[in-house]
Structure 1
C-alpha cells in the first residue's frame, strides 16, 4: 500500500512538472521583442491613419519628392522605420523595379520599333516590374501598420501600392513624420541654483566691531575748543 501511494505521488509530481513545461512553451510572446506576455494582455486596437490616402498636398516636400523621385522617398521611409537600413539600399531596389522597367521598355521600343509583338512584350515587362514593386513596397507598408497598429487604408498594402503607389508613399512619409515628431522630447532648461551663503562667527564679530571702531575714530577726531 505504501509502495502504491509512493508511486502515485511520483507520477503526480511528474505530471505537474510536464504541465508546467507545456504551459511555458505555449506562453504568448511579443512579435516585436519576443518577450513573454501575461495572460491578461490584450493587443491594442487598430488605429486610423493620421492623414488620408489622398492627402498628398498636406506635405508639399514629400509630394514633390514622391512625384519626381519616388525611389528616394521610399528609401527615406524605410530608413526612418528601420534605423539599421540605409536609405540607399531600398532606393536602388525601387529604382530597379520601376525606373529599370521603364528604361527597358524605352530601349525595346527604340531598337525594335513599335509593332504588335514588341508592344505586347513591353506591356508585359512593365506589368511585371510594377507588380514586383507593389509587392516589395507593400511589405514595407505592412511592417509600418504592424508597428503602429494601423488599419488597412483603404485595402491590402500590396494592392494599395499597385493601384496608388505615389499616394501611398506620401501617406507613409507623413505618418512617420508625424509620429516621430510626437516622440521628440523638448529640451529642458537647466537653472543653476544660487550659491549657498554662510555666516560664521568671525565675520559676525567683524561686523559688530566695525561700527564700534568707526564710532571710536569719530570720537577721537573731535577737538575741545574754548568759547
Structure 2
C-alpha cells in the first residue's frame, strides 16, 4: 500500500480536512468566474450636476481644477485684427504715437529704409537691414526708370506682409470682407483656397497701396516685436559687502 493510503487509514480526520480545502477552492473559482462574467457597474460621481453648475453641461476638468469646455484639440482659434488700419497714417493716440509718426515720415520719404527695418525686425536678425534696403532701392530705381512708377518693388515686399499675417494669426482681407459685408464666404470656408486668396490680396495691397501697406506693417511690428538691435540682456553684478569693523560702544 502507498504512504497516502496509510495516512488516510491512520488519521480518519484527514479526509474531512481535504474535503473542506476542495470546497474552498471551488467556491473561490466560482466567485472569480462570476466576477469576470458580470463586470461591476462604473462608479457614478455624485452631485455631478452641482459641480457643473446645475445646467446639465458636459465638460471635463483639468488637473488644476479648471473646466474644459468643448474639445481641446482641433478647436479653431479666432484670428486677431491688425492693430491699426491700412489708411491710419498717424496710427493711434497711445504710447506708440511718436513711433507711428516716425513710420509715416520714413515710409513717405524713404520706403526702402522702412522696408529694411521691417524685414530686420521680422527676421529678428540684426545686420540684415542693409541687404533688404539695397535690394529694395535697386528694384525701385529700375521700376521708376523703365516704367515710370514703382512696379517691381511690390513683388519683392509683399511676402513680408504674408509672413506677418501668418506669424501673428492676423485677419486677412477676405476674412475682413466676409466679416463686414458677408461676401467671400466660399473663400473663407476652405483653408487652402482662403490662403491663396489672402496671398493675392497681400500682393494687390502692396501694388495699389504700397506705402500705406509698408507703414501698416511697420506699426504692427513695432507694437508686437522689439527691434533685434535693442535686445539688451540683463547683467547680474555682484557687489561685495562693505568692510565692517567691530567697535566698542561708548
> Which consecutive residues of structure 2, in runs of 5 or more, have no partner in the other structure?
1-71, 92-99, 177-197, 240-247
- SS for the counterpart of 1:46 is coil
> Which consecutive residues of structure 1, in runs of 5 or more, have no partner in the other structure?
1-38, 107-125, 193-206, 211-227
Residues 49 and 150 of structure 1 are in contact (CA less than 8 Å); yes or no, is this contact kept in structure 2? yes
Is the counterpart of residue 40 in structure 1 residue 73 in structure 2?
yes
Q: Report the counterpart of residue 30 of structure 2 in structure 1.
A: none
Is the counterpart of residue 103 in structure 1 residue 123 in structure 2?
no
191, 194, 203: which one pairs with 1:158?
203
- Per-residue CA deviation, residues 55-90 of structure 1 (Å, 9 max, x unaligned), is 112221111100010010000000000023611111
Q: What TM-score, normalized by structure 2, do the two folds share?
A: 0.46
Q: Report the counterpart of residue 139 of structure 1 in structure 2.
A: 159
Q: What TM-score, normalized by structure 1, do the two folds share?
A: 0.50
Pairing of 1:174-213 with structure 2 (within 5 A) = 174-180=219-225
Q: When the two structures are aligned, how many residues end up with a matched partner?
A: 143
- SS for the counterpart of 2:219 is helix
90, 96, 112: which one pairs with 1:57?
90
Runs of 4 or more off by more than 6 Å in structure 1? Answer: none
Following the alignment from structure 2 to structure 1, what is the Cα–Cα distance between the partners of residues 124 and 143?
A: 29
Residues 44 and 149 of structure 1 are in contact (CA less than 8 Å); yes or no, is this contact kept in structure 2? no
- SS for the counterpart of 1:56 is coil
Following the alignment from structure 1 to structure 2, what is the Cα–Cα distance between the partners of residues 42 and 152?
A: 20
Q: Compute the displacement of 1:91 (Å).
A: 1.1
The structure with the greater share of residues assigned to helix is 1
Following the alignment from structure 1 to structure 2, what is the Cα–Cα distance between the partners of residues 143 and 136?
A: 13
Following the alignment from structure 2 to structure 1, what is the Cα–Cα distance between the partners of residues 87 and 114?
A: 17
Task: State the Cα RMSD in Å.
Answer: 4.0
Is the counterpart of residue 73 in structure 1 residue 114 in structure 2?
yes
Is the counterpart of residue 171 in structure 1 residue 191 in structure 2?
no
Distance 1:42 1:133, change over 3 A: farther
Distance 1:105 1:139, change over 3 A: closer
Q: Compute the displacement of 1:135 (Å).
A: 2.3
